[in-house]
Amino acid sequence: MDHTEHIDKQSSAPLPGTLAERAAAEAAAFTTAVAATRVLRSPESVEALRLSYLGRKGKITALLEDLRNCSKEERPAAGKAVNVLKQTIEREIELLKTEAGAWQVAAKLAATPLDIHLPVDAWVPQGSLHPVTLIRREILGEFRRLGFTVYDGPEIDYDFYNFSSLNMPSDHPARDMQDTFYIKEQDHLLLRTQTSNIQIHCLLNEKPPLRIVAPGRVFRVDSDPTHTPMFHQVEAFVVDRGITFAHMKGTIDAFMKAVFGANMKTRLRPSYFPFVEPGAELDLQCVHCSGKGCRLCKQTGWLEVGGCGMIHPNVFESVEYDSEAYTGFAFGFGIDRMAMLKYKLDDLRTLFEGSYSFLGHFPIFT
């Protein structure tokens, strides 16, 4: 609808009588037009109203022109009436202009839906799980499915748990292979070199049958692309009557297949660890070449991941178990090494440098 037209029509009828009377009539019409403009609440209608009264062809302009033609007697009263009307209209229009500013703001606000929420970024960095955490969760998950219970043990431990009761008395040459961090002036306290210490804690605190998996940090004086002074191991062991080497082989095979896929092959190679007899080195078919031979496996087709064996009778005796009645197997392997193989990493140290550009590639959830 054209508001201008609407207002014009209202006041366009010729007004009768004297100029003063016409001015009075225009004043009344103007009051009506102002009311109509206030209903319309548009700045354009204010401008249209102004033009229709004060513009070049406006009503006031017409009245002022007519003033020239009126008689001497009439003129003073008519002049006063027209001028008063003009001033009133001017004042009223100024007022309407101010109001129009507020109408505009109100219209804008009404057109904008009110959002009571604080602005938030659609994407907030969530971080990711560390590859060692990811693989540890997966490893423990698979062991739980196999009926194992997760067990914990101390990182700072007595020589007894880490060495002597594991059939490594203080003069045992195998101790030299594990370059141990000792606690200053506390000869018998050390940073554990292996999670096998948990075997001893568990055997002393629990009763067979035991099916235990124990992850944790271990420490050795060692640092190169494939060794860090701190790394992670997992120890798994089963103690009961009648446990055999076949149980161990089956468990290791089932576990590795669960983590690396049904085609994964494992191999046991006779080896020596003081706390097992017989003992074996635990090899995994090369994840890179699937056994064909490559640089990673030094053309052998196999990768060494840990050790295993039947728990040595001396270990049972050291914790006062009847080694005739109980047998058991144990195996241990590096968690970090598993992460390297599973996620195809070539430098162990990247796991511990805390670089976000590396760690950010891993998922948040397992």
Q: Return residues touching ligand PHE (CB under 6 A).
A: 194, 196, 235, 273, 276, 306-309, 330-332
Q: At closest approach, how far in Å is the CB of 180 from ligand PHE?
A: 12
Q: At closest approach, how far in Å is the CB of 140 from ligand PHE?
A: 17
Compare residues 4 and 271 and give the one whose CB is closer to ligand PHE. Answer: 271
Q: Where are the beta strands (DSSP E) in the chain?
A: 149-150, 156-158, 182-183, 186-191, 210-219, 230-240, 266-271, 276-285, 302-311, 327-334
**What are residue 329's DSSP bridge partners?**
238, 310
Compare residues 79 and 169 and give the one whose CB is closer to ligand PHE. Answer: 169
CB 61 within 8 A of CB 79: no
Please tell me the distance from the alpha carbon of residue 81 to that of residue 20, in angstroms, as a whole number. Answer: 6
Compare residues 81 and 282 and give the one whose CB is closer to ligand PHE. Answer: 282
Compare residues 219 and 273 and give the one whose CB is closer to ligand PHE. Answer: 273
Q: What are phi and psi for residue 189, nearest 5 degrees? A: -105, 135
Compare residues 82 and 202 and give the one whose CB is closer to ligand PHE. Answer: 202
Compare residues 216 and 307 and give the one whose CB is closer to ligand PHE. Answer: 307
CB 341 within 8 A of CB 266: no
Q: Which residue has the tokens 């080195």?
A: 281
Q: At closest approach, how far in Å is the CB of 272 from ligand PHE?
A: 10
Q: At closest approach, how far in Å is the CB of 135 from ligand PHE?
A: 17
Q: At closest approach, how far in Å is the CB of 363 from ligand PHE?
A: 29
CB 331 within 8 A of CB 284: no
Compare residues 153 and 306 and give the one whose CB is closer to ligand PHE. Answer: 306
Strand-pair category, 276-285 with 182-183: unpaired
Q: At closest approach, how far in Å is the CB of 195 from ligand PHE?
A: 7
Q: At closest approach, how far in Å is the CB of 356 from ligand PHE?
A: 31
Q: At closest approach, how far in Å is the CB of 204 from ligand PHE?
A: 17
Sign of the four-CA dihedral 311, 314, 315, 316: positive
Please tell me the distance from the alpha carbon of residue 219 to that of residue 227, in angstroms, as a whole number. Answer: 10
Q: At a CB cut-off of 8 Å and minimum separation 6, what does 322 contact?
A: 316
Q: At closest approach, how far in Å is the CB of 334 from ligand PHE?
A: 8
CB 221 within 8 A of CB 177: no
Report the interhelical angle of 245-260 vs 131-145 (nearest 10°): 130
Q: At a CB cut-off of 8 Å and minimum separation 6, what does 97 contact?
A: 43, 46
Sort 28 into a burial class: Cβ within 10 Å, 0-12 / 13-18 / 19+: exposed
Compare residues 53 and 331 and give the one whose CB is closer to ligand PHE. Answer: 331
Compare residues 245 and 362 and give the one whose CB is closer to ligand PHE. Answer: 245
